[in-house]
Chains A and B, each alone.
Chain A
Amino acid sequence: MEPYKSQIGQPVSRLEGHLKVTGTARYAGDYSVPGLLYGYVINSTITKGKIISFDTSRAKALPGVLEVFTHENRPSLAWFDLQYADMDAPPGSPFRPLQDADILYNGQPIGLVVAETFELARYAATLMDIEYEEEAFDTDLRSQQHLARSPKIGMATMLKPLPPKPKGNFEKAFNASPNQVSAEFFHGTEHHNPLELFATTTVYEGKGKLTIYDKTQGTINSQMYVANIFGLKFKNVRVISPYVGGAFGSALRPQYQLFLSVMAALKLERSVLVTLDRHQMFTFGHRPPTVQRTRFSADNNGIITALNHLAIGETSRFEDYTEVVVNWSHMLYPAANTLMQYKLVELDVYSPLDMRAPGGVTGMHAIESTIDELAHKSKIDPLQLRLTNYTEIDVSLNRPYSSKELRECYLQGAEKFGWDKRNPEPRSMRRGNKLVGYGMATGIWEANQLPAKAEAILTGDGKLKINSAVTDIGTGTLTVMTQIAADELGLPVEDVEFAYGDSKKPFAPIQGGSFTVSTVGSAVKAVGAAMRKKLFSIAKKMKGGVFDGTDLRDVSFEGGRIFITNNRSRSVSFQEIIVANDNKPVKLSKFSVPSILKLKKYSRAAHSAVFVEVEVDEELGVINVTRAVTAVAAGKIINPKTARSQILGGMIWGISKALREETIQDDGLGKYMNQNLSEYHIPVHADIHELDVIFVDEKDTVVNELGTKGVGEIGIVGMPPAITNAIFNATGKRINQLPIHFDMLL
């Protein structure tokens, strides 16, 4: 027999890939159940004010329309804010759909038509006679900056620490430094726009029991939300989410289609599907617009002396959404004097929501552009400046990194890219009539782990099943968890089934923040290890005494058998073990909890170094990112194929953020204007050229048992500044507003 080949580290293709590309995979809106009704949401057409009257009679008169729910006739619901709070709720009062006549933002859901067909519901929704009383509103962050205030503190602050306290004397040190840079940045609103539209199918099972197919990044999060608001027993609410067609953070919080679908199902005692259309995908969370100001300085040797980073982000009037924007520079550059400030402005919009590398990609653009300018002013190569200021400890919190192979990322990335061929003089490199520029930047993203539970069942056929409530938002969770479990028991991946996406299964937190592999993977590893132990203990008691005188250290698990490592002729199969277990499957579960005390002694982060080449058509301004190399250090890479896809996706999104993507906001009207994928520009194939990914070896024995740091966000973080720095090298122009439109370079 072939010795067992470790599955961890293998480029296993997505196990559900064929189901997805053949259209067999069913998403939340794809379940047709008998007697299904269809809901269509009615959204506010004003930005702020009150509904004076809401006449639904024309719609209700249509045959096939069952009900129109509004704030006037909705069932009575939970009373306390806490009951509406989900796992990702920021401090404040969560938005309650159909609560009352108040309009808090444009596009707010104010009603739901329920009809026999989707088309009828959609048509009926056009027959509403609604009178509003409009009030003055403000949606413009830049004009309201003077109202910026400190954010409220709450549960969410745990994973999103506020800025560290000032160190040294920033003003004094900055003013005394020979090389100073000040810059101001603006990032506009962005919407997640996953391809799959938000949908919830609530199957009414009778007697207060519901099975809910929901587009979510957390089945238990949705279950909790529904049970709390509608006063249902947890065990009577089952939320399933087997496939998710992208989410990027947008499904970290239960969205209003879930609320409305459940409300209608309970009231009408029928199954109800509510799907949002693309336009409505712009009526909930988004990446907040942010203003940033930086002031960095260095001495004549390129040692960074002082760092000041201020960010002012948008939030709603009802919640304080925060993200970590300004904490990063001091984690990377050990200046003695720092001043980090983070503030919010309340506007008449819906609460912002985590979107891939929330805060990180925003802050690092400002930081790494400013560092680039500092290098330029100090006449030091930007890569050299970063190496000069390289640190093994996180000075902002005064603790070592659990591991940090960023230096290797810089070196390997630079080598692969050919950084040594860069001419530091802006406008000095040309190709035909195009200016060519090289730029680089650093990426960083925290490596977290949360508690999670997993269950393992070994059945009579010798196959292993693992259960977890976790979702797979398209990142490859199913595949990676299967690999981890397979390795623990030495099974081929075909003999492992990972069953997930179901709130009935053991607890997993929401899937985000790049912590799923570390969180759920650790639980899977732990339950796998427990299963080894258990199987061995049964085997040891078996007749024949194959394992007499051995313990767990002396045996290996391979291909469905336990062998004595030094004497492979002695072994027992999993099937035999189950027989010995009275033919009963072996079942156990394990809670994995991060070892907080150990973790607290370290800063834990994934890092990247990004190198970009751009071509700029000088006369016309047209920009192309012709080449990009990202070198990533993110601990153990479980599956280089799915991990590479994550980094490529992040890099492409970085191109999007730097050059394409924006939600166009009309502050006079208080609303978004490009609410479709024709005008909300994400990159097309013709925008994407050569992309390279390097995974740098990084061993981490602190972060978790697996040594993983997560790769979901790190791919995007360094791209926008690397691109804008390359544009500077090509053109001599620094454009600090994203996205950069080509006409800004004219």
Chain B
Amino acid sequence: MNNFTYKRAESIEDALAQNSSGGNSSYLAGGTNLVDLMKYDLTRPDTLVDLNRVDGHHEIYETPEGGLLLGAFVTNADTAWHPSVEERYPLLSKAILAGASAQIRNMATNGGNLLQRTRCYYFYDANVPCNKREPGSGCSAIPGYNRIMAILGTSESCIAVFPSDMCVGLAALDATVHVEGPTGSRSIPFADFHRLPGDTPEIDNTLLPGEIITGIELPANGFSKNYSYLKLRDRNSYAFALVSVATGLELDGNVIREARIALGGVAHKPWRVREAEEFLAGKTADSVHFGQAAEIILRGAVGFPHNAFKIELAKRAIVRNCMMALNPESQLPGAQPSV
């Protein structure tokens, strides 16, 4: 870990200005990912611009459109336990609480969660090739131990997974990311925020250099009646997903009016397939239809020697989670399987 200058920003404008003063500068939020990367000597910013004292963007409030705005600097814990989130967007609350540990969620912020880096073992080891860390050096995971890697949207240069749980919930809910940058502010639909690795795996998302996430907006419909988040992993808490599924359903009796299904742990971004959701619209809510939707979602999936199981597992997880969504009361803490 190198020496760095620590600066505290008072406002977004101040942060943008401090960040642009040249050199290699990083924004600091909860620090739960960034500081680890610095300690492992994987990133060496010479300046940290602390966003935690910026005025504004520390609240959660209702939007005039009937949705909810999550300030970027609100912690993951405060978001998950916020009454409006719990009541109107329980899917998001569940997804957040399935992630990390209570201690980490108390520090981690909503903005930072979107920007956490992959958990690929090889990315975290500075002494082995990794295209994401060092473009052009090669990918160690493809010939290596790839149990935790992606099965969808991979490329020849990277098969890493985006590890967030919260973002799987946000993807299913069709959130919008608000950012401010040196050239003004803009809004990015969630589906366009994270990207696939292609031949530039070093770029995780479409945020431009210097831009700051200020908030995440949820549309009015939170699928609060029929929802579920299922996380399958190597221990019951404090482990990243091998496969996770967020489901939101709008039902007319037994018939699906609208379905949302997003997968985590399988790709470089939360995975959503509109075709599958459209297929479900108008169908009865049963395991046969959910199974057919799962087939559509996993179309094109390719396994590697240690993770091929994820394809079948993801299909089963989708069906199970949709069934769990029909009966949210049955759900267990920690997004464990139920029903």
Residues of A at under 8 Å CB distance from B? Answer: 45, 119, 122-123, 126, 279, 433, 617, 619-622, 624, 660, 664-666, 668-669, 671, 673-674, 676, 678-679, 681, 683-687, 741-743, 746
Contact = CB atoms under 8 A, between A and B. Distances in A.
Contacts of A122: 1
Contact of B234 (A123, A624, A741): A741
Interface string B297-339: 0000000000001101100110010000000000001101101
B262 to A, nearest CB: 18
A650 B77 CA distance: 33
Nearest to A684: B237
Contacts of A621: 313
Contacts of B145: 664-666, 673
A45 B147 CA distance: 24
B237 A620 contact: no
Contact of A620 (B40, B41, B144, B337): B337
A669 B140 contact: yes
Contact of B237 (A674, A679, A685, A746): A685
Chain A interface main SS type: loop
Contact of B128 (A433, A619, A665, A669): A669
30 contacts: A45-B127, A123-B2, A126-B41, A620-B232, A620-B317, A620-B320, A620-B337, A624-B236, A660-B234, A666-B140, A666-B145, A668-B143, A669-B128, A669-B140, A671-B125, A671-B128, A673-B121, A673-B122, A676-B124, A678-B119, A679-B119, A681-B239, A683-B235, A684-B235, A684-B237, A685-B237, A686-B334, A687-B235, A742-B232, A746-B313
A523 to B, nearest CB: 42
Contact of A666 (B144, B238, B317): B144
Contacts of A619: 316, 320
B242 interface: yes
Given A126-B2, A620-B337, A746-B309, A681 B234 contact: yes
A666 B145 CA distance: 6
Interface string B115-140: 00001011011011000000000001
A685 B238 CA distance: 10
B3 interface: yes
B236 A684 contact: yes
Nearest to B339: A433
Given A119-B1, A620-B337, A687 B236 contact: yes
Contact of B121 (A123, A624, A664, A684): A664
Contacts of B232: 620, 622, 742
Contacts of A622: 232, 336-337
A225 B333 CA distance: 51
A547 B237 CA distance: 66
B118 to A, nearest CB: 12
Contact of B1 (A45, A123, A620, A683): A123
Which 4 pairs across A and B sit closest by C-beta, in order of nearness?
Answer: A686-B236, A45-B127, A673-B121, A743-B309
A151 B239 CA distance: 39
Nearest to A279: B40
Interface of B: 1-3, 40-41, 119, 121-122, 124-125, 127-128, 140, 143-145, 147, 232, 234-239, 242, 309-310, 312-313, 316-317, 320, 333-334, 336-337, 339
Contacts of B316: 619-620, 746
Contacts of A687: 235-237
A687 B124 CA distance: 27
Contacts of A126: 1-2, 41
A684 B333 CA distance: 14
Contacts of B128: 669, 671
A743 B3 contact: no
A684 B98 CA distance: 14
B323 to A, nearest CB: 10
Given A620-B320, A686-B237, A687-B235, A674 B144 contact: no
Interface centre among A122, A123, A678 (most CB of B within 10 A): A678
Contacts of B238: 678, 684
Contacts of B41: 126
A679 B235 contact: no
A473 to B, nearest CB: 25
B309 A679 contact: no
B132 to A, nearest CB: 15
Contacts of A681: 234-235, 239
Contact of B312 (A660, A668, A742, A746): A746
A544 to B, nearest CB: 66
A624 to B, nearest CB: 8
A700 to B, nearest CB: 39
Contacts of A746: 309, 312-313, 316
A122 B236 CA distance: 34
B144 A743 contact: no
Contact of A669 (B3, B144, B239, B309): B144
Nearest to A617: B337
A620 B333 CA distance: 17
A746 B1 CA distance: 43
A675 to B, nearest CB: 8
A679 B313 contact: no
Contacts of B234: 660, 681, 741-742
Contacts of B121: 664, 673-674, 679
Contacts of A123: 1-3
Contacts of A676: 124
Contacts of A741: 147, 234
Nearest to B40: A279
Contacts of A673: 121-122, 125, 144-145
A652 to B, nearest CB: 12
Contacts of A279: 40
Contacts of A620: 232, 313, 316-317, 320, 337
A430 B207 CA distance: 50
A176 to B, nearest CB: 41
Nearest to A674: B121
Contacts of B143: 668
Contacts of B312: 746
Nearest to A669: B128
A212 B331 CA distance: 54
A617 B310 CA distance: 16
Contacts of B339: 433
Given A620-B337, A684-B235, 10 more contacts: A619-B316, A621-B313, A664-B145, A668-B143, A668-B144, A679-B119, A684-B238, A686-B334, A687-B237, A741-B234
A624 B235 CA distance: 10
A741 B243 CA distance: 14
A126 B128 CA distance: 15
Contacts of A660: 234-235
A619 to B, nearest CB: 5
Contacts of A671: 125, 128
Nearest to B319: A619
Contacts of B3: 123
A589 B65 CA distance: 84
A686 B233 CA distance: 13
Contacts of B40: 279
Nearest to A434: B337
Contacts of A742: 232, 234
Interface centre among B2, B127, B143 (most CB of A within 10 A): B127
Contacts of B313: 620-621, 743, 746
Contacts of A683: 235
A743 B316 CA distance: 12
Contacts of B147: 741
A687 B320 CA distance: 21
Nearest to A107: B127
A96 B140 CA distance: 31
Nearest to A622: B337
Contacts of A617: 337
A126 B334 CA distance: 39
Nearest to A686: B236
A291 B16 CA distance: 58
Nearest to A682: B235
